[in-house]
Structure 1
Amino acid sequence: GRPPLMFAILAGRLEFMSMLFADPRADISQEDNYARTPLILAVVKSQVPAAQLLLQDPRIDPNLQDGQGCTPLHRAVEKAHDEMIKLLLEHSDVYPNIPEGYLESLIHWAAQKGHLEALQLLMADPRIHVGREDMFHWTALHWVARQGYLDLAEFLVADQRINVNIMGNHGETPLHIAAEEGHEDVVRVPLETEGID
């Protein structure tokens, strides 16, 4: 079942949410059957005003993970919901480097899904670990190379913090992956960059 706060979020009923917040008996962090917190539900359902209201309450932990190990920020990146990503990143208690189950960071998610704007927002946040590796020792650039996202490849390679020569578990660099996948336009991006070995 869903707690009353969840119904208020789904309906966009901010006044009812405020009433629940004022009631000391109300459990405003109760999860639903999918282990989603109220904030995660607000993100998933694109309820920006509800998310804003939730983030104002000190009882809300903006880093709680759902049953799949995802935080509200993971879900915002997954949906490429730029307004929600900005809102969450502006909150000082949001920790943007929590990995999900496969050790993938938020920039991995944005890279895999081809969400350039989300990737730009994340990379602009000084708290983000841009060179984070997943369980395969792949960075965001490895995933961009695999998927063939030219605009994301250009964006990442232009960032001085990105190591274009980093190798995965089997010694594969992003350049190797792009070539193997037949993404010739993406292969040219790192080749035109200084520092390629």
Structure 2
Amino acid sequence: TPLHAAADFGGEQLLKILIAHPKIDLNVRDNLGQTPLFFAVRLGDCRLIRFFLEDNRLDPSQHQGALGNPLHAAAESGRFPALRLLLEDGRFEVNATDQDGDTPLHIAIQKGDREDLVLLL
């Protein structure tokens, strides 16, 4: 969707325009079950992530398909600032599992990412 593309490529101005539309669905999923927030997290752009988090239409309880939730994306991509932002928000399930049964903590351990590991403990 255009919202996925804006989140995936860091299109801040386009994302602002799209999110401002009252009928835009922030929780729309692509063919892999991922929301635009997942794309922004994977990109590691905290400005874009904040746009989503500040909108009350966001449903943080939605699982992102086989890849888990946005915390999984942050841990997998090594995006420490994004992970910290999501954890500070407090609405994401830190013990959620992906298709392999891994939590974000498991991913941080597997990747040997000490910053993420400490943050997730």
Is 1:39–1:62's contact at 8 Å kept on the other side of the alignment?
no
Q: How does 1:175-190 map to 2 (within 5 A)?
A: none
Q: Does structure 1 residue 14 correspond to structure 2 residue 42? A: no
Q: Does 1:44 align with 2:42?
A: yes
Tell me how many residue pairs correspond in the alignment: 121
Structure 1 Cα separation of the partners of residues 76 and 67 of structure 2: 13
TM (norm. structure 1) is 0.56
Task: Give CA deviations for 1:147-188 in whole Å, capped at 9, x if unaligned.
Answer: xxxxxxxxxxxxxxxxxxxxxxxxxxxxxxxxxxxxxxxxxx
Asked if the contact 1:35/1:66 (under 8 Å) is kept, the reply is yes
Indicate which of 70, 83, 97 corresponds to 2:81: 83
Q: Counterparts of 1:112-127 in structure 2 under 5 Å?
A: 112-123=110-121
Q: Which residue of structure 1 lines up, in the alignment, with residue 65 of structure 2?
A: 67
- Structure 1 segments, 4+ long, off by >6 Å, are none
The residue type paired with residue 34 of structure 2 is R
**Structure 1, unaligned stretches of length 5 or more?**
124-197
Alignment of 1:127-138 (within 5 A): none
Higher percent of residues as helix: 2
Show CA shifts across 1:130-158 (max 9, x none). Answer: xxxxxxxxxxxxxxxxxxxxxxxxxxxxx
Larger radius of gyration: 1
Contact 2:108 2:116 survives alignment (8 Å)? yes
TM-score, L = length of structure 2: 0.88
Q: How far did residue 69 of structure 1 move?
A: 4.3
Quote the sequence identity (%).
Answer: 33
Q: Give 1:109 deviation, angstroms.
A: 1.4
Structure 2 gaps, min length 5? none
Deviation of residue 32 (structure 1)?
1.6
